[in-house]
Structure 1
């Protein structure tokens, strides 16, 4: 079996497992079940207070429409509020509510405990190995972006 096929099959298996993990819901201390997509949206809004829909979509690597729908759900659940941007009247910015802040903090705590295994693996790697891994991941992202563009034509 060629290395390409072996790597591609392993990567597909990992992506499948990651996607299954994305389907798991957790409360992050709020008492309300949240999907991975929801909590990661909350995380970005918490990291970038007053972020707009366009920038949020770009940071997530999804469409503006998908981001708008996610934000709508989070507003309805009480995690996010939309406010008028101080920069432009035509722009809306996003902020976390008290419940959203609680989820943001709960997510950080979750990553602190769950991230221990990741940190152990990463800490065992040399800086050169980490650069190779990052280069590989970024190359895959570029390939996937290019494939997406081909599919849109």
Structure 2
């Protein structure tokens, strides 16, 4: 190891392992996918942000705006803008939790629920079927364990 002109340590020679190359490739693929709208058949085309929001809200009683922002890892201002756009598209509706309360609950409209189920049909189910066909049960458990470790690593 040596130092460069700024005094930073530099190592000469290749330090990339196959695992780190695969990881880098995976990150790039995910970033590329996250910039592309997804077609959900007759339901329409949705941005990744809209899909993440729809899946986080779910088909139940909805979620408070602040909690939605926390779960998506965005600011309250960003979630307000996103939810407003989605409300204009007829995907979600907002309602004050109680009269006089500042808390706002967001729920999916019928169109939003259709998008939720269409995403399951077009992306979630095919992935689940594909991965289960490709891996044995033991490999699948190892794969899930590896994904959990990767999420843990990325959360630091």
TM-score category of the 2 structures, normalised to the smaller one? 0.7 to 0.9
Structure 2 equivalent of residue 150 of structure 1: none
Q: Secondary structure at the match of 1:125?
A: helix
CA contact (8 A) 1:27 1:103 kept: no
Gaps of 5+ in 1: 143-153
Matches within 5 A, 1:114-153: 114-121=127-134, 123-125=137-139, 127=141, 130-142=144-156
| Rg larger in structure | 2
TM-score relative to the length of structure 2 = 0.74
* More helix per residue: 1
CA RMSD after TM alignment: 2.6
Gaps of 5+ in 2: 1-13
Matches within 5 A, 1:44-123: 44-47=56-59, 49-86=61-98, 89-110=101-122, 111-121=124-134, 123=137
Distance in 2 separating the partners of 1:107 and 1:31: 10
* More strand per residue: 2
Structure with the bigger RCO (C-alpha within 8 Å, sep 6+) is: 1
TM-score relative to the length of structure 1 = 0.76
Deviation at 1:62, TM superposition (A): 2.2
